[in-house]
Chain A
């Protein structure tokens, strides 16, 4: 038990690393900075692994351990403790965060080696690890919220890491503000939860949720929808996804860690964590599933014609997160978490691979300038290919199993319109395999198209410190599927492991279809993936000219092409209906007219009135004795007249 009680060490170590590098990093040598950053996360990962093994050794029903450090906020009956808890769900996320996080730390040593502000980078990255661990390990909603905002902050700082670059800083601010809109929903949900349950601890909310709240009631629907607003912000779902593609301004390892493997899955974690609430709010479940399914397809199409290698991956992340929410909305939480795991592996690998490519091409991110890297960067190539196959959903690779489980849940779901979800998700799968292989062929096949001599001369495979993490992640992208083998009875390790976390009350029954139909569905999903690959192969490998010809065609194809390339003009629309009107109204209407003209006009007007009045009255003070004497006489006459008129009778 001791190990689980000391679970605090897991988040605290990266925090200490962040403090050390943040305060005195500039005075330390590069080697020392590296040692602090990697040491703290490495030991944290090691400790997390031990704790996880200890958790496994416990009886499934007692796999939960809380430890409380101190009372953070206590006001009357409101208590928020600085407490953390480990159970199967947080355990899984803890392993992903520390494991993938540690690999990306290692990779960063190579990738960021030549950058200024090396210690600043690692201080932020360690702080991110701390926040993310707090998010998944917290034992109450408010601790989750610290982590939630903390990862948002680190994301802001790391996107704007190159702070003299305006586009990077803009992207960072956009990320923070859009996330804040989501957090607005989250914080309201926390308040509502407190006043409904009298507590914000998971252990006093979830077990009683179905007793306190009626199924489908206003309160539980409201709470879950507000929570989901938070999730759409952090996990980049419609309508708050627009920050994620811009977030690619940050260094690539950051994109891999924060904007692919961990932070963006926080929303999925939150929904899965609150399954006891979502289960009894059918309306919210439909909202979650619909948003997820629509985002999955919508974002996938936006990835179709991007030329920035990282942006393609960013849209694919949004799309894959859509799958996870679809699974949550269908009540298939295990499938959602399964996809979080496999996605963490293959997407981190893809991002790091793209980073390796960018590194090898002296910072080039435009795929039109790439090509032919298969021979020049063999290790990067092979790991990238594995991960691409995984995300495309080709059997044996991890992504196939998790994505297929989601498609299966959609096909056999009990939710109304589940077949539409299935159709959307399957179409998205086809689109995904197309644009991922488009990316693959543009980058690795053919010949290097870059015209920049410097780039051509300096193409090189990345150093082992970068390729080793790639190899490990690629390995995991193959083996990850073992966690949840389909069809064979009891082979789904993850399902039985996570079972204690997922409430059965009001839960949607997961399907157990006949084996033949399951195979049939798998065949369909593999089929569409292969079609996607073949199409990509035709346009970008066998017949590269045809793609260019198609792009030049006039008519509706061009309109579609333009619309998609401009991301459906969503940013422009938001700008036109929210950003600009609010700014102009605030400046011209509120400030310049209301504040300066109306209120101050009134205030100054009163002052001016008295000023003018006294100016007028002042004129009676002529300084001539005769004038005063006359006024006195007039006054006396007036008084006497009044006297007589009043007392006349």
Chain B
């Protein structure tokens, strides 16, 4: 497996698909659809090789590194670890499902749509795999363009407003991030005398905390807008409402995770001091997002807007988990990123199913649909329950681990965030009730058709994963764990040593030993922040000395 450039294949298969679509006749819409779906399905199957060949360590795997622009130290370098692996898989899966879902929904400019979607897929996979700032930034921006067109061309009534809003919001963040990257690029050169854009070598790079906070803020803004965190979220409802179904699914399923992924790959390991200094206010923003998103979701009359605001709430959990900086919370956050992709992706598909039949997203237009579409009702119910975190389904595991970890770092935050589970139940069940239950009062809903085979088959993988990740999440967590632990080491807050011995062998007779273990464990918090800082500063000092002493 080592010799096969698996990640490049994953990125360039959609590109090849794009190029080959150019030569297909515009009018042959079904061929275009089949081709695009085929390409993405193959890409998904290939991506499964990542899963089977993944080794459970924190090292980057499937690494490819080729010199690209020598003078600037730019490399074409790719790799995945436990943090990005599942996001890549989520991307390939979601993309394939999206192509299957657009069969009937997109009838205008089919070819252009498919090309945009394939370009988007390439950009997304590239963003998750890139290990070079230059490459990363290219992919990051590449995603923006097709999404802009998808909203702007195939969107609803106010699509231009939404597309421009989406573009500008995201752009402002990315530009500041670019400035920060350029500053760091020269800083790196100052410290080492080399030019490099290798992301991993920036991990743990000594940066004066006073400057670090500004760099951190620049990155934070870019990612917070993507997530989107309160109060940078207002582009999301507009973008979702206007985007076509497939666009919404990609947007909610993958694009939002770019922000949280960015926190994990860049913010935390590159700016550890700034991260620690920012924990409180970021957590507060995340909690506001959780409650605010839920409350605003509750009062929406448009299903898509409701789901969009629910994303603000769910992603609030993820950010809160990431900045709790312990293993459970970050693993929960990672899981929740996947879970949200599955359940919210499915929710947008569900809205799409309704929209294709009735061409409205207003909740009040529906009611009593369960009687007309029983299979749809079951799928919708399972997805709803997954979204509100019912134990046994995927959503619970992520949410619980996040809250568990947050409880350890800040009880008050955990308590406030936990109210989110109550709100989620209210807005989701109320929405489900108004759409699905009751009597059919609107005559237009009288002869709705239940899901057809194509529709059932693109929901099927999502439903299966909702159950599998709810019942057997441990293998997934275990694959993430080394990377997460490594990340936490990099940030420097050492967690308590594992209690495994105590948990595994509950010896009822030696209770006193148990107590000792607990208290010993409490003292086991190692590596104070100041210790690490001294190390870092020494490093800077010796580096600059070396430079001065070296013969010119």
Interface residues of A (CB under 8 A from B): 70-79, 142, 145-146, 149-150, 153, 156, 160, 163-166, 169-170, 173, 176-177, 180-181, 183-184, 187-188, 191-192, 194-195, 197-199, 201, 203-204, 207-208, 211-212, 582-583, 585-587, 590-591, 595, 599-600, 603, 607
How many Å lie between the Cα of A201 and that of B231 in the bound state? 41
> Are B503 and A204 in touch, CB under 8 angstroms?
yes
How many Å lie between the Cα of A149 and that of B425 in the bound state? 12
- A-B contacts besides A585-B295, A603-B169, 5 pairs, CB < 8 Å: A74-B477, A198-B518, A201-B503, A204-B503, A599-B234
> Are A586 and B503 in touch, CB under 8 angstroms?
no
A149-B390, A181-B422 known; A595+B503 contact, CB < 8 A:
no
A71-B474, A78-B404, A173-B429 known; A164+B438 contact, CB < 8 A:
yes
Give chain B residues whose Cβ lies under 8 Å from the Cβ of A197: 518
A184-B418, A204-B506 known; A191+B515 contact, CB < 8 A:
no
Q: Mark B518-547, 1 if CB is under 8 A from A, else 0.
A: 100100000000000000000000000000
Which residue in A201, A590, A600 is a CB contact (below 8 Å) of B234? A600
How many Å lie between the Cα of A71 and that of B500 in the bound state? 14
A77-B499, A78-B404, A187-B421 known; A153+B299 contact, CB < 8 A:
no
Closest to B331 in A: A75
How many Å lie between the Cα of A443 and that of B360 in the bound state? 50
How many Å lie between the Cα of A195 and that of B298 in the bound state? 33
How many Å lie between the Cα of A254 and that of B334 in the bound state? 39
Q: Mark B159-177, 1 if CB is under 8 A from A, else 0.
A: 0000001001100000000
Q: Mark B379-405, 1 if CB is under 8 A from A, else 0.
A: 000000100001110001100110110
Give chain B residues whose Cβ lies under 8 Å from the Cβ of A156: 429
> Are B438 and A166 in touch, CB under 8 angstroms?
yes
Q: Mark B492-519, 1 if CB is under 8 A from A, else 0.
A: 0001101110110010100110110010
Give chain A residues whose Cβ lies under 8 Å from the Cβ of B300: 591
Closest to B168 in A: A607
A169-B438, A176-B425, A192-B407 known; A75+B401 contact, CB < 8 A:
yes
- Please classify the interface of chain A as helix (H, G, I), strand (E, B), loop, or mixed, using the class held by over half of its residues: helix
Closest to B238 in A: A600
* CB interface residues, B 401-446, toward A, < 8 Å: 401, 403-404, 407-408, 414-415, 418-419, 421-422, 425-426, 429-430, 433, 436-439
Give chain B residues whose Cβ lies under 8 Å from the Cβ of A149: 390-392, 396
> Are B433 and A75 in touch, CB under 8 angstroms?
no
A199-B503, A582-B295 known; A208+B515 contact, CB < 8 A:
yes
Give chain A residues whose Cβ lies under 8 Å from the Cβ of B499: 77, 198-199
> Are A169 and B418 in touch, CB under 8 angstroms?
no
Give chain A residues whose Cβ lies under 8 Å from the Cβ of B403: 187, 191
A150-B391, A176-B429, A188-B415 known; A76+B511 contact, CB < 8 A:
no
> Are B421 and A184 in touch, CB under 8 angstroms?
yes
> Are A590 and B422 in touch, CB under 8 angstroms?
no
Q: Residue B473 at the A interface, CB < 8 A?
A: yes
Q: Residue B16 at the A interface, CB < 8 A?
A: no
> Are A72 and B503 in touch, CB under 8 angstroms?
no
29 residue pairs of the A-B complex, CB under 8 angstroms, read A70-B474, A73-B473, A73-B474, A76-B327, A76-B498, A77-B496, A77-B499, A77-B500, A79-B503, A142-B391, A142-B400, A146-B391, A149-B390, A149-B391, A149-B392, A160-B437, A173-B430, A173-B433, A177-B426, A180-B421, A188-B415, A192-B407, A204-B503, A208-B514, A208-B515, A582-B295, A583-B299, A599-B233, A607-B168
> Are A73 and B477 in touch, CB under 8 angstroms?
yes
Q: Residue B64 at the A interface, CB < 8 A?
A: no
On chain B, the number of residues with a Cβ less than 8 Å from chain A's Cβ atoms is 70
How many Å lie between the Cα of A201 and that of B505 in the bound state? 11
Give chain A residues whose Cβ lies under 8 Å from the Cβ of B401: 73, 75, 78
Q: Residue B370 at the A interface, CB < 8 A?
A: yes
Identify the 7 closest CB pairs spanning chains A and B, nearest first.
Answer: A204-B506, A587-B299, A76-B327, A586-B295, A198-B499, A146-B391, A191-B407
Which residue in A160, A591, A599 is a CB contact (below 8 Å) of B299? A591
Q: Residue B471 at the A interface, CB < 8 A?
A: yes
Most B CB within 10 A of own CB, among A71, A199, A586: A586
Number of contacts between A and B (CB, 8 Å)?
163
How many Å lie between the Cα of A577 and that of B471 in the bound state? 39
- Nearest CB on B from A97, distance (A): 18
How many Å lie between the Cα of A50 and that of B205 in the bound state? 65
How many Å lie between the Cα of A121 and that of B403 in the bound state? 35
Closest to A201 in B: B506
Q: Residue B81 at the A interface, CB < 8 A?
A: no
> Are B165 and A72 in touch, CB under 8 angstroms?
no
> Are B292 and A163 in touch, CB under 8 angstroms?
no
Q: Mark B125-139, 1 if CB is under 8 A from A, else 0.
A: 000000000000000
A73-B473, A208-B511 known; A590+B418 contact, CB < 8 A:
no
How many Å lie between the Cα of A72 and that of B472 in the bound state? 6
Give chain B residues whose Cβ lies under 8 Å from the Cβ of A142: 391, 400
> Are A75 and B327 in touch, CB under 8 angstroms?
yes
> Are A153 and B234 in touch, CB under 8 angstroms?
no
> Are B298 and A583 in touch, CB under 8 angstroms?
yes
Most B CB within 10 A of own CB, among A195, A198, A199, A585: A198
A76-B328, A183-B421, A582-B295 known; A211+B515 contact, CB < 8 A:
yes
- Nearest CB on A from B531, distance (A): 23
> Are B392 and A150 in touch, CB under 8 angstroms?
yes
- Nearest CB on B from A115, distance (A): 14
- Nearest CB on B from A122, distance (A): 16
> Are A177 and B328 in touch, CB under 8 angstroms?
no
Which residue in A153, A191, A199 is a CB contact (below 8 Å) of B404? A191
Which residue in A165, A169, A180 is a CB contact (below 8 Å) of B422? A180
Q: Residue B371 at the A interface, CB < 8 A?
A: yes
Closest to A147 in B: B391
Closest to A169 in B: B437
Q: Residue B73 at the A interface, CB < 8 A?
A: no
> Are A198 and B429 in touch, CB under 8 angstroms?
no
> Are B400 and A188 in touch, CB under 8 angstroms?
no
How many Å lie between the Cα of A191 and that of B234 in the bound state? 34
> Are A177 and B500 in touch, CB under 8 angstroms?
no
> Are B478 and A188 in touch, CB under 8 angstroms?
no
Which residue in B169, B326, B400, B439 is a CB contact (below 8 Å) of A73? B400
Q: Residue B368 at the A interface, CB < 8 A?
A: yes
